[in-house]
Amino acid sequence: MTTAELHESRRRRISMDMADDEPKKSEDVVLIGPPTPDGEGVHVLRAREERLEAGELRALREGKPVTGEIVTLEPRQENPRVCDVRSSYVPPALPSAKGTAKAASKKGPAQVATDAYRDHWEEIFGDVSARPPSRALN
């Protein structure tokens, strides 16, 4: 074997090894479990992004709110209870109350007076400035 052939075979081995080390796509897999107590869905375990999550899978119903993601499941041939997941809709993340600057700047009770309330103040309580001061003690 010549030096050129040795280098060529080594190059092939290196390129084949590198093909095996390619980063694999992130897998999103669901394992379907038993039905929920109400019979409307099933319990599932979902593995994605190196996390394991437990949840419920329910059918979409017209007129009912969507409370989580909308996904499509593709059962695997070797085991139909294991499905590949394709996400169609992911709800926006809700900001945490502690992490927002707005929550940090407000202190005290919630503001409950609306503009309509303020606009009709005089209709509700009358003109306060026109009343004589009360002499009664609390």
The amino acid at 129: S
Same domain, 75 and 121: no
- The three-class DSSP label of residue 89 is strand
Give, for all 138 residues of the chain, the pLDDT tens digit. Answer: 566 565 455 555 444 444 444 444 458 999 999 999 999 999 999 999 889 999 999 999 999 998 889 999 999 999 999 999 999 999 888 665 555 555 556 678 877 778 877 777 777 777 766 767 777 776
Q: Give the total number of structural domains in the chain.
A: 2
Same domain, 48 and 81: yes
State if pTM tops 0.85.
no
In a domain, 118, yes or no: yes
Which residues fall within 8 angstroms of residue 69, CB to CB, at 6 or more apart?
Answer: 87, 88, 89, 90, 91
Which residues fall within 8 angstroms of residue 68, CB to CB, at 6 or more apart?
Answer: 55, 91
In a domain, 50, yes or no: yes
Range of the domain at 35: 28-89
Which residue blocks in the chain are alpha helix, DSSP H? 3-20, 101-105, 115-119, 121-125
Contact of 48 with 54, CB cutoff 8 Å: no
